[in-house]
Structure 1
Amino acid sequence: MSTNQPPAPSTAPSTGKSLGLLSLGHACVDIYQGAVAALVPFFLAERAYSYAAASGIVLAASLLSSVAQPLFGALTDKWSLPWLLPVSTLAAGIGVALSGLSGSYALTLAVVAVSGIGVAAYHPEAARIARIASRGSHNAMGLFSLGGNIGFAAAPLMVSAVVATGGLRASPLLVVPALAGAALCAAALRTVNGTTTAATTASAAARRVGKDDWRAFLTMSGAIVCRSIVFVGLSAFISLYARQRTGGGDVAGTAALFVLYLGGAVGTVAGGRLATRYGRIAVVRWSYALTLPAVAGTVLVPGPFLYLFIALTSAGLYVPFSLHVTLGQDYLPRHVGTAGGVTLGLTVSVGGLASPLIGAAADATSLRTALTPLIAFPALGWLLVRTLHEPDMPEATTAPAPIPHHNTSPSPGP
């Protein structure tokens, strides 16, 4: 294994470049996760959808994504599928770009579902390659997650700029980030190729010595489901809710969604740094605990202070985001692709299942009443994560070569 040490310095710049390109590509893909929620007010305005019908569009993107992503994760446990990155990026963009062209509700659901499948196909393989490029660094994986959060934050601004001026018929312009993202992914794959063999060899060794802790993984997954319900519920309706609570128009709604997503970018960066100092489990526990009053303020406090609580909610929800991914990978060292598919996909997207219930409750009562139950979910998540422990790290017993050493925890998955 010592023969691997000399090339390490020469590969460090290329892996750093790869991670940067992957982060930018991640931003382009996650624009389309944020774009679906950002389109909801325009669907209501132009097509007179009810709250329940509009939330069904969010569900269409979330449902197939949540089901498909663990399947793609399982595939990346067995095979390297780097071609998925540019192809899935294009699928995510094309689905959203077509969503405004037809007044047919069924066709709108279908193309949004295609976008959701594209998002699902992208994340496990991208996280696998990012794990290689980051050499197992929590802060570096946080940078990859940050790219996605920036994409989320850019989504309402992009959708507002395109659709508010040209209507839903202008939606084909929304494909532009997908074209850029596909090019970035292709460039990232070219720069990372030199490190994949060494990382894959180390990962195979890790599978021989690692032990899966399914109980801890499933407990953490339950907490992520709670987080997902809060995040997706707010994503779908915070724009409409901000208009009601502040008395503002389109700008007030777009600003609220932007703050929700932008706070995630700040939270992700803070999460990696706090975990380095205090440990991942401690940071995850405090994040869920502090999210409870933040969500309560978002739902209950009127006027401009609403934006402060939205920002605090976003930070609280996103501080543990990249930590969930690395913890999941370390809990399941023999099934890291599956772990990535679940932590990045199933448990994140499953919150979309709650959106139609929130929409139906809003139609029957009020949007404030429908959003109030979201306050309980951070508390439930905290009860689950307080039972977690730091996973065993099998890499401590493996060879010290730079790239393999930092990648002995995961398998070829993300």
Structure 2
Amino acid sequence: MNKRRLGLLTGTHAVNDLYQGLVPALLPFMVLERGYSYTAVSGLMLAATGLSSVVQPLVGLYADRHPRSWLVPTGFLVAALGVVLAGLSHSYLLTWIAIALCGLGIAAYHPPATVAARAAGGASQKAMSVFSVGGTIGASFAPMLAAAVVGGAGLAHSYLLGLPALAMGAVWLLSNAGRGSASGAASGSAGNAGAALLKPHNDWRAFGWLVATIVCWSIPYVTVLSMLSLRITRDLHGTGFQGAAALTGFTASGAAGVLLGGWLGDRIGRIGTIRAGYLFALPSLAGLVLAPSAGWALGCTALLGMSMFLPFAAQVTLAQDYLPRNPATASGITLGLALSVGGLVSPLLGMLSDARGLGVTFSAVLCVLAAATGLALRLRNRAAQAVVQMAGASGSLGSAQ
């Protein structure tokens, strides 16, 4: 394990996802300063999450065939540029385009950075979890950074939000950490090619149920991410600081949920972890819907973030075991689809919020989460025997050679 390089990549992940978190964190300030409606806000979330998640598998396809280490810094620098331009733009169309640019930068970052992190971490699952949590921690600081930079001085000072990306870009260049990512990608591709020789059976039906579960998970997730601050400040008469704190609590508890989910998965199994996450998330979201005060909502939000992310790692590995012949495809669909579907539906939920209020919208997504819980309860485990056999056969081929 190359701890130094893994630490650098974790830092870039934190900076990259900082900008992913800044998009929803800036939305309340845009509503106050520019008078955007809930529908307009949801359209911006569509630009940020929907396009990014759809483009990400295409970038991954390119990165697999043509490894390019420069995609890592380019990704988070383009994401930062999009956030800065969105804050400085006065037209809604230009703001939408800028946020879409941010989403494209985020999409360009993740595939090559994940390959590089896997090469740096070797066979360690802990290394990959640390890299993943780095992104969640970065996103958790976004609301506070937005409040500190934009809260007092207005969106005109959004250019200051680009400083973390510039600093990390300089660190990346000085460390020359991009060396070896191409070789790591090449060796990974060779391993996958050797493994494909066995062609184990894909369980597309079980994978379809898992995808349906994740789709129903993504809608409440994106809705809470984009509407939580407005729910706290407008419906529950909380302060702007409480609205930002709620977003921070949601993302920070999500990071804790990822780590806790990995620990639980080793002890009670993947299916038990997935079911526990959904079963705990349901009353947490219900508490947010019925919250009588901002303080009550803050507590429910923290529990909701942890519960929703308990199944995160387990769902990815389960998807790969459902499709052992196409593990990259399984990962791309589960990770990319999760945010894209929620982003595509968010404008409709924004229209519902404009017409009936945020309380009705949160009640609607509670029903969607209940459907996700029902789907999660019918998921069944699939042993990783095919994957183990693939790895063993690949090793045998290497020994024979």
Same fold (TM over 0.5): yes
The residue that corresponds to 2:194 in the other structure is 205
After TM superposition, the structure 1 stretch with the greater mean CA deviation from structure 2, 305-314 or 338-347, is: 338-347
1:194 to 1:113, Cα distance in 2 relative to 1, 3 A: closer
After TM superposition, the structure 1 stretch with the greater mean CA deviation from structure 2, 277-286 or 112-121, is: 277-286
Which amino acid in structure 1 is aligned with residue 271 of structure 2?
Answer: I
1:232 to 1:344, Cα distance in 2 relative to 1, 3 A: same
Shift of 1:245: 4.7
The residue that corresponds to 1:356 in the other structure is 347
The residue that corresponds to 2:375 in the other structure is 384
Cα distance in 1 between the residues matched to 2:49 and 2:171: 25
The residue that corresponds to 1:397 in the other structure is 389
Does residue 115 (structure 1) correspond to residue 102 (structure 2)? The answer is yes
The residue that corresponds to 1:412 in the other structure is none
Which amino acid in structure 2 is aligned with residue 121 of structure 1?
Answer: A
% of aligned pairs identical? 42
Cα distance in 2 between the residues matched to 1:30 and 1:204: 31
Contact 1:61 1:116 in 2 (8 A): yes
1:353 to 1:195, Cα distance in 2 relative to 1, 3 A: closer
Contact 1:33 1:119 in 2 (8 A): yes
Shift of 1:273: 1.0
Does residue 249 (structure 1) correspond to residue 236 (structure 2)? The answer is no
Q: Pick from 151, 157, 164: which aligns with 1:170?
A: 157
Q: Pick from 249, 256, 264: which aligns with 1:266?
A: 256
Contact 2:64 2:185 in 1 (8 A): no
Cα distance in 1 between the residues matched to 2:212 and 2:319: 12
The residue that corresponds to 1:321 in the other structure is 312
After TM superposition, the structure 1 stretch with the greater mean CA deviation from structure 2, 41-50 or 243-252, is: 243-252
Q: How does 1:15-414 map to 2 (within 5 A)?
A: 16-183=3-170, 187-190=176-179, 198-211=187-200, 212-303=202-293, 304-385=295-376, 386-397=378-389
Cα distance in 2 between the residues matched to 1:372 and 1:109: 28
Which amino acid in structure 1 is aligned with residue 165 of structure 2?
Answer: A
Deviations 1:108-161 (A, max 9, x none): 000100111111122223223333333454433222221111111011011111
The residue that corresponds to 1:4 in the other structure is none
Which amino acid in structure 1 is aligned with residue 103 of structure 2?
Answer: G
Cα distance in 2 between the residues matched to 1:82 and 1:210: 31
- TM-score, normalization: structure 2? 0.89
Q: Which runs of 5+ in 1 are unaligned?
A: 1-11, 409-414
Which amino acid in structure 1 is aligned with residue 49 of structure 2?
Answer: S
Cα distance in 1 between the residues matched to 2:351 and 2:92: 17
Shift of 1:309: 0.8
Cα distance in 2 between the residues matched to 1:399 and 1:336: 13
After TM superposition, the structure 1 stretch with the greater mean CA deviation from structure 2, 372-381 or 198-207, is: 198-207
Shift of 1:305: 1.6
Cα distance in 2 between the residues matched to 1:117 and 1:192: 21
Cα distance in 2 between the residues matched to 1:300 and 1:202: 51
Deviations 1:217-256 (A, max 9, x none): 3322221222211111011111011123542221111111
Which amino acid in structure 2 is aligned with residue 206 of structure 1?
Answer: A
Shift of 1:201: 3.3
After TM superposition, the structure 1 stretch with the greater mean CA deviation from structure 2, 282-291 or 137-146, is: 137-146
Cα distance in 1 between the residues matched to 2:38 and 2:186: 50
Cα distance in 1 between the residues matched to 2:177 and 2:385: 28
Cα distance in 2 between the residues matched to 1:320 and 1:205: 30
1:253 to 1:220, Cα distance in 2 relative to 1, 3 A: same
Deviations 1:2-48 (A, max 9, x none): xxxxxxxxxx3x1x333322222111111111111111111111111
Cα distance in 2 between the residues matched to 1:328 and 1:181: 33
Q: Secondary structure at the match of 1:209?
A: coil
Contact 1:26 1:181 in 2 (8 A): no
Shift of 1:196: 5.2
1:261 to 1:100, Cα distance in 2 relative to 1, 3 A: same
Shift of 1:360: 1.2
Contact 1:72 1:341 in 2 (8 A): no
Q: Which runs of 5+ in 2 are unaligned?
A: none
Shift of 1:77: 4.5
CA-atom RMSD in angstroms: 2.5
Contact 1:265 1:318 in 2 (8 A): yes
Aligned length: 391
Which amino acid in structure 2 is aligned with residue 90 of structure 1?
Answer: L
Cα distance in 2 between the residues matched to 1:98 and 1:213: 45
Cα distance in 2 between the residues matched to 1:339 and 1:19: 24
Contact 2:133 2:255 in 1 (8 A): yes
The one of the two structures with greater contact order (alpha-carbon pairs below 8 A, sep at least 6) is 1
Which amino acid in structure 2 is aligned with residue 392 of structure 1?
Answer: A
Deviations 1:312-354 (A, max 9, x none): 1100111122233333334334434333332222222321122
The residue that corresponds to 1:8 in the other structure is none
Cα distance in 2 between the residues matched to 1:181 and 1:292: 38
Shift of 1:183: 4.8
Shift of 1:193: 6.4
After TM superposition, the structure 1 stretch with the greater mean CA deviation from structure 2, 391-400 or 40-49, is: 391-400
Q: Secondary structure at the match of 1:127?
A: helix
Cα distance in 2 between the residues matched to 1:36 and 1:389: 36
